[in-house]
Structure formats: structure tokens, C-alpha cells
Amino acid sequence: MKNQLFTGILLAVLCADNLAGQTVCDSLAVVPETFDLRNLTDSTRFMPVFKNGFPPDDYQFEIRDKWGELIFKTDIPQQGWNGLRNNRKGMCANTTYMWVMSCTWRADSVELNCNGFVSCNNMDAPVKVTALDTLECQLTIFVPNSFTPNGDGPNDTFLPIFGCPPAEYEMFVFDRWGNLIFRTTDVNRGWDGDNSSENPAQVDTYVWRIKCRFYEGDKKREFTGHVALIR
């Protein structure tokens, strides 16, 4: 089972008018056309400004580089981009990025979809600029559907594989009756096939649950599935 996270969304442009260095999406949101890292603070991160003063109920905002690689994604209207890849490492290059926004105000039955471009200016910023055509890691998780804890070496432990080391991690394994038989917060520690009494667990299908944050500021994510123990 392989879960590809943060899939891209391409939305149609409703409108994109240039007014004094800003892109106007409908009459509800304004998105800057430039982003300067030299005077960056929490309040000057790159993000849309909503004219009615009320953030949308449903929101998604993402940024991609010129190769189409996802650089930033959020569903929190107050969370802006700080110029880092996924807000954690790899400062953006001095170039132009594409943004895509989708939001809904449920009370007013208003939906807004638009996209545009932002230029990142950081030539004078005291930061290390890294090329964005070199992908450091993928925000993915691969979870095996079976393992064989027989002591022969290969596939002896049940261990999810992350493309990027998560900022926060917790995994649980339950038997078919819902009893907890394994728990860890160490992303490098897998289940060796023993039960909670440290005796070999029987051949059966078990339920796993993973809770994690992929990066600082990420919302807590939860995944559930099944794994077959084979001896």
C-alpha cells in the first residue's frame, strides 16, 4: 500500500487583474506579486489577504516551482509561506513560482478558485540559496501489507518507510479484538512480530494506525490499514 500525499490540484483562473503589484482574485482576495525575504516576519509571509476580513471556511493554497514540484501547501488561511521548502528547509531560489488557491465561504455560498505567479526576491538576504531542481526528499509514506518475522533477515519487521523523516510520529498495532500489542514513537523502530507480552504473535491480520506531522506547522495526520503476519 503506498499513499501519495499532497497531490497537486490545478484550478481554473476566474480572474487575474494586475493592480499596483497585486493580483486580484474576484473582489474577495488579494495575492501579492512579489515576496521579499530580506524583511521577513510572521506577519509578512507570502499569503492571500481576504478583503472581507473573514477567512474562508474551506481553504487550500499551494506553491510550485517552475518544474512543477510542490514547494508549499496549507489548508490554514493564517499560515503563510516563509520561503522554505514546506516551511522547514531549503531556501527558495530567486525566481518565479506558481500559486493555486481554492476557498469557500459556506455561510455565503461563495466559492473562489484562482492561480497566479509570485517572484521571490532574496538576493540580499543572508540565507543559503539552494537549487530547487534537486529534490531532497518526497512527502510520501509506504506501508507494507505483510511481513515475515522468521529471523531470516529480509522483511523481519513491520516498518513504514517515509520519503522525508517526519517531524512527529507515533505508530500503533492492534490485534483483531482491538488489543494494543505494539506502540512506538521511533520512526526507525519496527514491529518484530511479538505481542504485548513479548511472545510471538500468532499468524493473523493486524490493524495498524500511524499518526504523524510531516514538518513543523503541519496538521496532525492519521492513517490506518492492515498488515498480515506470515511465518
Question: Between residues 163 and 221, which one has the greater pLDDT?
Answer: 221
Residue 29, pLDDT > 60, answer yes
Q: What is the overall mean pLDDT for the chain?
A: 74
Q: State pLDDT tens for residues 98-135.
A: 888 888 888 878 888 888 888 877 544 333 323 223 33
Strands (E), 29-95: 29-32, 34-36, 49-50, 58-64, 70-74, 84-85, 89-91
pLDDT at 70: 82
Q: In what order do the strands lie in the sheet with 29-32?
A: 17-19, 22-25, 29-32, 49-50
Q: Is the pLDDT of residue 155 over 60?
A: yes
What percentage of the chain has pLDDT greater than the value 70? Answer: 71
Predicted local confidence at residue 226, as pLDDT:
94
Rounded Cα distance between 81 and 71, Å, is: 9
201 or 162, greater pLDDT = 201
Regarding beta strands 34-36 and 110-121, do their DSSP bridges make them parallel or antiparallel, or are they unpaired?
Answer: parallel
Instruction: Please tell me the least confidently modeled range out of 55-59, 85-89, 119-123, 154-158.
Output: 85-89
| CB-CB contact of 101 with 60 (8 Å) | yes
- Residues 91, 53 contacting (CB under 8 angstroms): no
The stretch 34-42 carries a mean pLDDT of 66
Average pLDDT, integer, range 188-207: 91
Look at residue 95 and tell me whether its pLDDT is greater than 60. yes
Q: Residue holding cell 492513517? A: 223
pLDDT higher than threshold 90 for residue 209:
yes
Q: Is this prediction's pTM over 0.85? A: no
Return the HEC string of 153-221.
CCCCCECCEECCCCCEEEEEEECCCCCEEEEECCCCCCECCECCCCCECCCEEEEEEEEEECCCCCCCE
Q: Under DSSP, is residue 43 helix (H, G, I), strand (E, B) or coil?
A: helix
Domains defined along the chain, listed by start: 2-121 (2.60.40), 140-229 (2.60.40)
